[in-house]
A and B are shown apart, each in its own frame.
Chain A
Amino acid sequence: MQADIFRRRLLCLRKQAIQSHAQLDPQGRANSAPVPFGHFKDVHQSFKRSGQTPLVAIKNITFDLKAGHLVTLLGPSGCGKTTFLKIVAGLISASGGTIQINGRDVAEPQPDFGVVFQQANLMPWRSILDNVLFPMEILRRSDAAAKLRAQELLALVGLEGFEQSYPSQLSGGMQQRVALCRALIHKPKLLLMDEPFGALDELTRMEMQDLLLDIRVKTDATVMFVTHSISEAVYISDVVAVLSKRPSVIADYIVVNLPYPRSAEIRYSAEFTDLEHRAGRALGITR
């Protein structure tokens, strides 16, 4: 009990420190700065292959994540960005390096994280409302308040009136919105999104990006987002970490200073295209 109070005070102090002081530090020179929200240092991942040298998926990823920020991992297919996200989610363990969120080492899944996968992964046997409430059931916090929050979230993503529908009655974009609500239902400290809009058509995708920007304002969650779309990365992010081809390292660390609220017009601004160019250069697409 005593220890618990102490820990909470410590966390509180740490949060204040982050808010007052935190400075983004792409090179990982975190020695002088206070503990950042997310701290990744020398993260390394290799897979054993029978009869061959191990496959190095991630050579070295080092960066810090500021609380309330949206960082995008941008990289080519197969560069290990999804692997990195799954390491942060605690779903797979890294071969080496430090992964710290909120001062804790992440080695297993954290119940206060929310994950959105490439596929909506809805349960066909549950109504939309019950799908959103699934994490609360697992965490044994499914009560009237949770139900109310689920309804609010569904309304927020424009799915009011679909509470009692089944997933098979919804389109792909609508299903992915339900998955987003499900990831947010337990007010996660960190939202991890693995190419969540990758399977959607271009127009739905742009709609979802606006929706995500909107939701960030309303929930102030910290987000780590994986994508291979340059424009998507620049549009939604505070920071774009560009990953190189396998074995991946951080090829560029781009701070996006575009103003909020962002709307589609910004995609045609000079600053936007400059940022896209820079990301393209880091990926080796443009010169």
Chain B
Amino acid sequence: MTFRDVRNAIYPLVGISAILLIWQLYTHFLGINRIVLPSPLDILWASISNWDVLLRESWPTFLESVLGFALAVAIGIPFAVCVANSRVLNLTLYPILIATQSIPKVAVAPIILVWFGLGMQSKLVIAFLVAFFPIVVDTAAGMRATPVGLLELARSLRASSLQIFLKVQFPAALPFIFAGAKVAVTLAVIGAVIGEFIGSVGGLGNLLLTANSQLDSPLAWAALIWLSVLGILLFGAVVIAERIVMPWSDVGHH
């Protein structure tokens, strides 16, 4: 560990600790009701004493987010490739995509629930819907941002369209695709929770609602913390995937 690593780790820790300390002191000395605002220690205690419930309820939320995100990647990237490379498809589909994107997902969620039921599928579909857009938009932007010089080089060798796509266009778009994926994966978690809020029998969103209705604020906050940890873990997984797929982006610059 170098000095820089230490510094990069210490500063955020100091910041978080300071906020938690002020929060703890504030709730303690002003006698804030724990239903209104539980103290950090209350939340920690709720997290520890309910760890089995939290872990159990995390699993469906995790699955819904990951599967919805995976579906968005699997459908979104090929979709964006087609839209970016075909004028006709671009003109036909892009306005529809923008129009559907402007509909609030919360408003669509009840309809999705009617179609797919209270189980996991409906949440997966909502997670997919919110994750789909950033992946498509960023991938399409990446497909169009291929450096002209590289295209000219490929053309000077009379490369086929497939060769140009596989060897030039797609690798050049990877940084864009990963930028979209990072946004999409955190949105997928939000999508899953929206679904659970509208109607579900399990998941962290469901737990949060239940705890709230029972005025068990410490547990509701604990569920919230677990949700954010889930989001951070998924984001981190995409960052790690990016490093593995794009080792060149990590090397030192001259």
Q: Once the chains bind, are B167 and A168 in contact (CB under 8 Å)?
A: no
Task: List residues 211-254 of chain B with CB under 8 A from any CB of chain A.
Answer: 246, 248-249, 251-254
List chain A residues, Cβ under 8 A from B156: 89-91, 109, 113, 115
Mostly, the A contact residues are: loop
> Do residues B158 and A111 form an inter-chain contact, with CB atoms below 8 A?
yes
Q: Is the CB of A121 within 8 A of B251?
A: no
Segment at the interface with B among A30-38, A132-140, A198-206, A263-271: A132-140
* Inter-chain contact B254/A121, CB cutoff 8 Å: no
B75 at the interface (CB under 8 A from A): no
Q: Which of B22-69 contact A (CB under 8 A)?
A: none
- Asked whether, in the complex, the Cβ of A108 is within 8 Å of the Cβ of B171, the reply is no
Determine whether the beta carbon of B158 is less than 8 Å from that of A109: yes
B156, B174, B251, B252, most chain A CB atoms within 10 A = B156
Q: Mark B157-197, 1 if CB is under 8 A from A, else 0.
A: 11100010001100110100000000000000000000000
Q: Are A138 and B248 in contact (CB under 8 A)?
A: no
Chain B 136-161 per-residue mask, 1 if CB under 8 angstroms from chain A, else 0: 00000000000101101111111100
Q: Which of A119, A166, A170, A171 contacts B248 (CB 8 A)?
A: A166
For B154, the chain A residues whose CB sits under 8 A away are: 138
Q: Nearest residue in B to A135 (C-beta to C-beta)? A: B157
- Also in contact, A168 and B150, with CB within 8 A (given A91-B156, A111-B158): no
Check if B248 sits within 8 Å of A121, measured CB to CB: no
Contact (Cβ within 8 A) A168 B251: yes
State in angstroms the CA–CA spacing of A171 and B158 once bound together: 29
Contact with B along A143-174 (1 / 0, CB 8 A): 00000000000000000000001101111000
Please measure, in the bound complex, the distance between the C-alpha atom of A22 and the C-alpha atom of B232, giving whole angstroms. 72
Contacts A109-B158, A123-B171, A125-B174; is A117 near B251 (CB within 8 Å)? no
> Chain B CB within 10 Å — which of A110, A119, A121 has the most?
A121
Rounded to whole Å, the gap between the CB of B249 and the closest CB of chain A is 8
Q: Indicate whether A117 sits within 8 Å of B168 (C-beta atoms), given known contacts A108-B158, A125-B246, A170-B254.
A: no
A97 near B: Cβ within 8 Å? Answer: no
> Which residues from chain A contact B171 at a C-beta distance below 8 Å?
123, 125
Name the contact of B155 in the complex, choosing from A109, A134, A137 (C-beta under 8 A): A109
Q: How far is the CA of A165 from the CA of B253 in the complex (A)?
A: 11
A78: Cβ under 8 A from any B Cβ: no
* A184: min CB distance to chain B, Å: 13
| A284 close to chain B: CB less than 8 A | no
Q: Which residues of A contact B172 (CB under 8 A)?
A: 123, 125
**CB nearest neighbor in A for B250:** A166
The B-contacting residues of A in range 232-264, CB under 8 angstroms, are none
Tell whether A54 is near chain B: CB-to-CB under 8 Å: no
The yes or no answer to A28 lying at the interface (CB within 8 A) is no
Rounded to whole Å, the gap between the CB of A168 and the closest CB of chain B is 5
B157→A121 contact, CB < 8 A = no
**Shortest distance from the beta carbon of B160 to any chain A beta carbon, whole Å:** 8
* In the complex, chain B residues whose CB is within 8 Å of the CB of A115: 152-153, 156
Partner of B167, one of A113, A138, A165, A170: A138
In the bound complex, residues from chain B placing their C-beta under 8 Å from that of A170 are 254
Q: Are B149 and A169 in contact (CB under 8 A)?
A: no
Write 24 A-B pairs (CB below 8 A) sorted by A numbering.
A89-B156, A91-B155, A109-B155, A109-B156, A111-B157, A115-B152, A115-B156, A117-B149, A119-B149, A121-B150, A121-B153, A123-B150, A123-B172, A124-B248, A125-B171, A125-B174, A137-B163, A137-B167, A138-B159, A165-B251, A168-B253, A168-B254, A169-B253, A170-B254
The 3 A-B residue pairs with the shortest CB-CB distance in the complex, in nearest-first order: A121-B149, A138-B157, A166-B248
Using a CB–CB cutoff of 8 Å, the interface residues on chain A facing chain B are 89-91, 108-111, 113, 115, 117, 119, 121, 123-126, 134-135, 137-139, 165-166, 168-171
Binding site for A on B (CB under 8 A): 147, 149-150, 152-159, 163, 167-168, 171-172, 174, 246, 248-249, 251-254
Inter-chain pairs besides A125-B171, A137-B167, A166-B251, 17 sampled, C-beta below 8 Å: A91-B152, A108-B158, A109-B156, A109-B158, A115-B156, A117-B152, A117-B153, A121-B152, A123-B172, A124-B248, A125-B172, A125-B246, A134-B167, A138-B159, A138-B167, A169-B252, A171-B254
